[in-house]
Protein backbone atom coordinates (compact mmCIF):
# COMPACT_ATOMS: atom_id res chain seq x y z
CA UNK A 1 0.00 0.00 0.00
CA UNK A 2 1.06 3.56 -0.63
CA UNK A 3 1.26 6.26 2.06
CA UNK A 4 -1.88 8.27 2.75
CA UNK A 5 -2.13 11.40 0.57
CA UNK A 6 -1.33 14.74 2.20
CA UNK A 7 -2.56 18.23 1.42
CA UNK A 8 0.34 20.33 0.15
CA UNK A 9 0.46 23.90 -1.19
CA UNK A 10 -1.27 24.38 -4.55
CA UNK A 11 1.41 24.44 -7.29
CA UNK A 12 -0.05 27.28 -9.39
CA UNK A 13 -0.24 25.46 -12.73
CA UNK A 14 -0.86 27.11 -16.08
CA UNK A 15 -4.25 26.60 -17.67
CA UNK A 16 -5.04 26.46 -21.37
CA UNK A 17 -6.68 29.35 -23.17
CA UNK A 18 -10.05 28.65 -24.72
CA UNK A 19 -10.44 29.40 -28.40
CA UNK A 20 -13.58 31.31 -29.35
CA UNK A 21 -14.42 31.10 -33.03
CA UNK A 22 -14.61 34.54 -34.63
CA UNK A 23 -13.15 36.24 -31.53
CA UNK A 24 -9.65 34.79 -31.27
CA UNK A 25 -7.00 34.18 -33.90
CA UNK A 26 -5.18 30.95 -32.89
CA UNK A 27 -2.33 31.40 -35.38
CA UNK A 28 0.95 30.84 -33.57
CA UNK A 29 -0.63 29.17 -30.54
CA UNK A 30 0.76 25.85 -29.40
CA UNK A 31 -1.82 23.06 -29.65
CA UNK A 32 -1.90 19.66 -27.98
CA UNK A 33 -4.46 16.95 -27.53
CA UNK A 34 -6.78 17.35 -24.54
CA UNK A 35 -6.26 14.12 -22.66
CA UNK A 36 -8.89 12.61 -20.41
CA UNK A 37 -6.56 12.22 -17.44
CA UNK A 38 -5.89 13.79 -14.07
CA UNK A 39 -3.75 16.93 -13.99
CA UNK A 40 -0.56 16.21 -12.06
CA UNK A 41 2.37 18.38 -11.08
CA UNK A 42 5.64 16.55 -10.31
CA UNK A 43 7.58 18.57 -7.73
CA UNK A 44 10.67 16.37 -7.76
CA UNK A 45 9.37 14.15 -4.98
CA UNK A 46 5.66 13.53 -5.47
CA UNK A 47 2.68 14.27 -7.72
CA UNK A 48 0.33 17.08 -6.71
CA UNK A 49 -3.12 18.03 -7.98
CA UNK A 50 -3.89 21.60 -9.07
CA UNK A 51 -5.25 22.16 -5.55
CA UNK A 52 -2.17 20.72 -3.84
CA UNK A 53 -3.51 17.26 -3.00
CA UNK A 54 -0.78 14.66 -3.05
CA UNK A 55 -1.01 11.61 -5.31
CA UNK A 56 1.50 9.17 -3.77
CA UNK A 57 2.87 7.01 -6.57
CA UNK A 58 4.81 3.77 -6.23
CA UNK A 59 8.57 4.07 -6.57
CA UNK A 60 8.64 1.99 -9.76
CA UNK A 61 6.44 4.62 -11.43
CA UNK A 62 8.61 7.61 -10.47
CA UNK A 63 12.08 6.09 -11.06
CA UNK A 64 12.61 7.93 -14.37
CA UNK A 65 11.35 11.29 -13.11
CA UNK A 66 13.85 14.02 -12.18
CA UNK A 67 14.38 15.03 -8.55
CA UNK A 68 15.57 18.51 -9.54
CA UNK A 69 13.01 19.55 -12.18
CA UNK A 70 9.33 20.37 -11.84
CA UNK A 71 7.09 18.80 -14.50
CA UNK A 72 3.48 19.53 -15.38
CA UNK A 73 1.26 16.98 -17.09
CA UNK A 74 -1.48 14.42 -16.62
CA UNK A 75 -1.69 10.97 -15.15
CA UNK A 76 -3.38 9.07 -17.95
CA UNK A 77 -4.91 5.61 -18.07
CA UNK A 78 -6.10 5.80 -21.66
CA UNK A 79 -8.95 7.29 -23.65
CA UNK A 80 -12.35 6.89 -21.99
CA UNK A 81 -10.64 5.66 -18.79
CA UNK A 82 -10.91 8.76 -16.62
CA UNK A 83 -12.77 7.00 -13.78
CA UNK A 84 -10.26 4.16 -13.81
CA UNK A 85 -7.39 6.66 -13.59
CA UNK A 86 -9.00 8.52 -10.69
CA UNK A 87 -9.62 5.22 -8.91
CA UNK A 88 -5.97 4.23 -9.20
CA UNK A 89 -4.43 7.50 -8.02
CA UNK A 90 -6.84 8.06 -5.13
CA UNK A 91 -6.65 4.54 -3.67
CA UNK A 92 -3.44 3.78 -1.79
CA UNK A 93 -4.21 0.05 -2.02
CA UNK A 94 -3.93 0.08 -5.82
CA UNK A 95 -0.16 0.57 -6.13
CA UNK A 96 0.09 -2.30 -8.62
CA UNK A 97 -2.51 -0.61 -10.87
CA UNK A 98 -0.19 2.36 -11.54
CA UNK A 99 1.49 0.15 -14.17
CA UNK A 100 -1.57 0.89 -16.36
CA UNK A 101 -0.95 4.67 -16.21
CA UNK A 102 1.51 7.02 -17.88
CA UNK A 103 2.61 10.49 -16.90
CA UNK A 104 1.94 12.60 -19.98
CA UNK A 105 4.24 15.61 -19.60
CA UNK A 106 3.46 18.89 -21.33
CA UNK A 107 5.67 21.44 -19.57
CA UNK A 108 8.66 22.03 -17.30
CA UNK A 109 7.38 25.36 -15.94
CA UNK A 110 10.20 26.26 -13.54
CA UNK A 111 13.06 26.10 -16.07
CA UNK A 112 12.87 29.86 -16.59
CA UNK A 113 13.00 29.48 -20.37
CA UNK A 114 10.58 30.24 -23.23
CA UNK A 115 7.97 27.55 -23.84
CA UNK A 116 9.69 26.34 -27.03
CA UNK A 117 12.92 25.70 -25.10
CA UNK A 118 11.01 23.89 -22.38
CA UNK A 119 9.41 21.64 -25.01
CA UNK A 120 12.87 20.85 -26.38
CA UNK A 121 14.07 20.05 -22.85
CA UNK A 122 11.17 17.60 -22.45
CA UNK A 123 11.96 15.88 -25.76
CA UNK A 124 15.66 15.69 -24.93
CA UNK A 125 15.09 14.16 -21.49
CA UNK A 126 11.82 12.24 -21.78
CA UNK A 127 11.10 11.84 -25.49
CA UNK A 128 10.21 8.59 -27.23
CA UNK A 129 13.85 7.81 -27.99
CA UNK A 130 14.57 7.53 -24.26
CA UNK A 131 12.29 4.47 -23.98
CA UNK A 132 10.93 5.41 -20.56
CA UNK A 133 8.23 3.05 -19.35
CA UNK A 134 5.80 5.46 -17.68
CA UNK A 135 6.69 8.91 -19.04
CA UNK A 136 5.49 10.37 -22.34
CA UNK A 137 5.89 13.86 -23.78
CA UNK A 138 2.64 15.32 -25.12
CA UNK A 139 3.05 16.38 -28.74
CA UNK A 140 2.61 20.10 -29.40
CA UNK A 141 2.18 21.69 -32.82
CA UNK A 142 2.10 25.38 -33.67
CA UNK A 143 -1.26 26.42 -35.08
CA UNK A 144 -1.10 27.66 -38.67
CA UNK A 145 -4.57 29.22 -38.58
CA UNK A 146 -8.25 28.56 -38.02
CA UNK A 147 -8.38 25.84 -40.70
CA UNK A 148 -5.50 23.98 -39.08
CA UNK A 149 -7.20 24.19 -35.67
CA UNK A 150 -10.53 22.98 -37.06
CA UNK A 151 -8.81 20.05 -38.79
CA UNK A 152 -7.23 19.05 -35.46
CA UNK A 153 -10.60 19.31 -33.71
CA UNK A 154 -12.36 17.16 -36.33
Q: Do you know the residue count of the chain?
A: 154
The count of other CB atoms within 10 Å of the CB of residue 4 is 8
CA atoms within 13 A on the CB side of 6: 5
Is 8 in contact with 54 (CB distance < 8 Å)? Answer: yes
Residues 73 and 136: their CA atoms lie apart, in Å, by 9
The verdict on whether 99 is a catalytic residue reads no
Q: Which of 4, 7, 34, 130 is catalytic?
A: 34
Q: Which residues are marked as active site?
A: 34
Amino acid sequence: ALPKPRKMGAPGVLLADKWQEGKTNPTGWWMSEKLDGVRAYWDGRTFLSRLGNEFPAPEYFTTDLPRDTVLDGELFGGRKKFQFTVGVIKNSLKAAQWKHLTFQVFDAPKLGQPFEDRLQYLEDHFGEAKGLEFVRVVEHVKCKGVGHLQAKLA
